[in-house]
Structure 1
Amino acid sequence: MLIHGAGGHAKVVVSILSACGERVTGVFDDNRIGLWQPGAHVIRPYTPDFKGSEKLIIAIGNNQDRKRIADSVCHAFGKAIHPAAIVDNTVVIGEGTVIVHGAIVQAGSCIGDHVIVNTGAIVDHDCLISDFVHIASAATLCGSVRVGECTLVGAGSVVAPGIAIGKECVIGAGAVVVRDVPDYAKVVGNPARVII
């Protein structure tokens, strides 16, 4: 598996792939050249013909950056799901998605492309998570929540059942969302209120 990105999230993706018995054969990063870690993989700017038959994961936490890179990559995309995550066998998971240690994704949920379900996050039954979303560590989405493209659901936040969150939103860390959130909004607090 190839990864694109060499920051902190990339270390997590490498850990997940290792736990799955998958070998990382190359790391791309357009901003860094050289050794990633002592004795580790060579970092190079993205090259479409480098190991073209291998799948790639974009290991970058920022939603907009992940989307921009996905639009320019020629490789097919893989998935990284840690064995310690609990994912019901009815869940649909898109390409390029990363589900981290201790996450739970319940029955009937649909996870889009290039989504991050981070450490200890809970996605309850029948949720619909659009492409390029990041569900941060310890966030909880109750049943039938819908989350729009490129939205960040902050660490430790809670989204009540049946809530719809628009695209490109930021749900602040620890927020408790009890009302629908419009596109491009930033919400914080308990109960969550729009601040932008």
Structure 2
Amino acid sequence: MNVTKEFFQHPLALVDSEEVGVGTRVWAWAHVLEGAIVGAHCNIGEHSYIEGDSRLGDNVTVKNGVSVWAGVTVEDNCFLGPNCAFTNDLNPRAYIKKDPERLLATIVKAGASIGANATIICGNTIGRYAFVGAGATVTVDVADHALVVGTPARQIAWMCTCAQKIPLSQKHTVGEPLRCDHCGCEYTETKSGLVPVAVQAQN
């Protein structure tokens, strides 16, 4: 019986998972293992590796050379830049085999972007619409809409959903929102990061 796939698989790609969403594209020399969950309309670049027990949401872009290991969850509309690196074991040894429950989970929240060659140490969460600069090493949680750079990564600005910076030093009266000069979106600063004013009003 012929089964018509609802996603594109390059002839040189390997797709062992049965859970790949409609409209997703898997390019040459990429490998999606059995047990991986891939959402709809994702783009998985060449030489990428999506391990079992990992999860990609919808509309995720995985550029070339990215490995998404077991225990990593990437929510909808995220961008994983070329050769960015995830981990899932803080103290690995080749001769010590660990059960999956002993690995540390990493979560990349919806809309976040991770730059080329950045490293995400396991056990951390990248907040919604956060931006990790190229080459950064993330060792702690990143707040929603935070822009972090360097090794170890440190916050230098906020990032609007339109991908433009909002300076940490922006002058505003306490209790008044921060405003993106590019698109006009307004945010309230909270302990977990920036919250769009419209969303906060709905709550």
TM-score normalised by structure 1 residue count: 0.57
CA drift of 1:175 comes to 0.4
CA shift digits 1:82-130 (9 cap, x unpaired): 1211121x43011000000000111211100000111111111111100
- Structure with more strand by fraction: 2
CA drift of 1:142 comes to 1.4
Residue of structure 1 equivalent to 2:137: 191
1:83 aligns with 2:11: yes
Mapped to 2, the partners of 1:151 and 1:159 lie a distance apart of: 14
Mapped to 2, the partners of 1:91 and 1:78 lie a distance apart of: 11
Match of 1:97 among 24, 32, 42: 24
Residue of structure 2 equivalent to 1:117: 44
Residue of structure 2 equivalent to 1:177: 120
SS in 2 for 1:92: coil
Distance 1:160 1:81, change over 3 A: same
Residue of structure 2 equivalent to 1:168: 111
Residue of structure 2 equivalent to 1:107: 34
CA drift of 1:172 comes to 0.5
CA shift digits 1:55-104 (9 cap, x unpaired): 9xxxxxxxxxxxxxxxxxxxxx942101211121x430110000000001
Moved beyond 4 Å, runs of 4+: none
Give the RMSD, CA atoms, in angstroms.
Answer: 1.9
SS in 2 for 1:93: coil
Residue of structure 2 equivalent to 1:146: 73
Aligned partner letter, 2:10: H
Q: Runs of 5+ in structure 2 lacking a partner? A: 89-104, 149-157, 159-203
Mapped to 1, the partners of 2:18 and 2:36 lie a distance apart of: 5
| Paired-residue identity, % | 22
SS in 1 for 2:132: strand
Distance 1:101 1:190, change over 3 A: same
Residue of structure 2 equivalent to 1:137: 64
TM-score normalised by structure 2 residue count: 0.55
Match of 2:83 among 140, 149, 156: 156
**Larger RCO (CA under 8 A, 6+ residues apart):** 1
CA drift of 1:187 comes to 0.9
Aligned length: 120
